[in-house]
Amino acid sequence: MLAKIAGINIPYSAKLNSRAKLKLTFLNRSTGAISIAKDCEIGTGTVINSYGGKIDIEKFVYIGEYVVIYGHGGVHIGANSLIAMHTCIVSSNHGIPGQNVPIRSMPDILLPVKIGTDVWIGTGCTILGGVTIGDGCVVGAGSIVTKDLPPYSISIGSPAKVIKYREP
């Protein structure tokens, strides 16, 4: 284990670029946890922040440059997945109050994100809270995932829609 410091676990075989940032930030009196499995690669400028939730990255995951992962509600990324640069994964949302209440005053709504094994998320995607991306999915560049994607589907667009499935 390279580091097991106050809730962050990184094995020696993980490649963590020196400009990547792993942060444990308090939310609801918890710092959460970040766990990165063996043989993962985390690119330059990537920000992984627990915000009180748990972020679990399984083995052989590649996370490209300038990816942002916020773990408020929990994020799980399955083994052998690829997340291309400039992707944003957010596992929370805000309630929308009436006009006389500032939006900022609303508490976070925790919404877990689950990304299956062998998933490829293209450049510049946004993965919103509460979604599950099934095993073997491909998400086209620039897509915004707002709903669950079934296993082995190929989706594109804003919001992401399934256009076909990977062949057996």
List, by residue number, the catalytic residues: 94
Cis omega (within 30 of 0) for bond into 159: yes
Distance of alpha carbon 129 from alpha carbon 111, whole angstroms: 5
Q: Any residues with CB less than 8 A from the CB of 148 and at least 6 apart, and which?
A: 131, 132, 133, 134
Distance of alpha carbon 14 from alpha carbon 17, whole angstroms: 10
